[in-house]
Structure 1
Amino acid sequence: MERAARPLNFLIVEDEPLISMDIEMMVEDAGHHVIAIAAALDEVEALPDGKAPNVALVDMHLARGSTGLDVNSYVQVRWPNAIIVFVTANPQKIPQDFAGAHGVIAKPFSLAGFMSAVQYLEEVVCNPPPVSAPPGSFVASEAFAAFREAP
């Protein structure tokens, strides 16, 4: 994984406008950039080349019949260095292996919990683990357990 510098670039994939606006505000309040917001896979596919996201926050249920798993697969190919985190009220729909994603933030989440998750992501993206660490070991599901709290 490449080392990134702060501020990080975030892609938000969420079909509920109020939730995407809240997430955008929290990401920007944490000092990072939101480079795009999309409601479905086709909108992610239509994003212009340019800045790649360091982090993609992806809901599981999206507009026009697409899913977070669809977006996850696409992001892994187009931006292989991006950290993918599912943000969902249905964490049970995420495969046990996270389908190659790095974690989950369960809805509803508190402001403090979300900000802690963003801080953790910043540390992981800006200071990746040594190459000798087993794949996926730096973002285990336990690391996100604190962010599964209700507000």
Structure 2
Amino acid sequence: MARPLRVLIVEDEALLAYALEEDLRDAGHDVVGLAPSSREAIQLAERTRPELALVDIHLLDGPTGVEVARAIAGSGVTTVLFMTANVKRIPDDFAGAVGVIGKPYTANGIENAIAFVGEALKDGAEPPPPWSLQLAPHLQPAEDGRIRLGAH
């Protein structure tokens, strides 16, 4: 099992957010909040200082997840993973995120991604940039340098 992390869920689909929250809590993680919009996400991140933020690209206020990722990752406190079906909207610099979990995702895919982040953050280590993540032989960086986490 991954070491327990403090996680912020940034997702506008309430049922998906609640199901993910339940899965994370069942796995022993501390969900510090659910945010359906960019403003709420940034405020929650500033107030709760999570170790990990799972960020969708499209939120209640539009495709603002990239800006949310930049703001949250820019704090230097929180590692960001995108969770989206809109992977084409992720900029080349990944907006400070370390990877992507493509939707639809599996509980196993989430668990593996969080275990990786937990390991990378062990003892206060900095997470690697997205182009250097090495997860498993079948999850090597694509030609564009991006890593996509999920069921394979």
Alpha-carbon distance in structure 2 between the residues aligned to 1:124 and 1:108: 24
> What is the correspondence of 1:23-34 to structure 2 with a 5 Å cutoff?
23-34=20-31
Residue 41 of structure 1: how far off its partner (Å): 1.0
Cα distance, 1:148 vs. partner?
5.3
Structure 1 residues 107, 52: closer, same or farther in 2, change over 3 A?
same
Q: Is residue 114 from structure 1 mapped to residue 110 from structure 2 by the alignment?
A: yes
% same residue: 36
Indicate if the aligned counterparts of 1:14 and 1:37 stay in contact, CA closer than 8 A: yes
Gap regions ≥5 residues in structure 1:
1-5
Q: Match of 1:56?
A: 53
Q: What are the ranges of 5 or more consecutive residues in structure 2 without an aligned counterpart?
A: 142-146
TM-score, scaled to structure 1:
0.79
Mapped partners of 1:49, 1:86: distance in 2: 18
Range with greater deviation from structure 2 (40-49 or 135-144)? 135-144
Q: Work out the CA distance in 2 between the residues paired with 1:21 and 1:74.
A: 24
Moved over 6 A (4+): none
CA root-mean-square deviation: 2.7
How many angstroms apart in 2 are the aligned matches of 1:31 and 1:73? Answer: 27
Matched, 1:147 2:127: no
Q: Distance in 2 between matches of 1:23 and 1:147?
A: 14
Q: How far off its partner does 1:44 sit?
A: 2.1
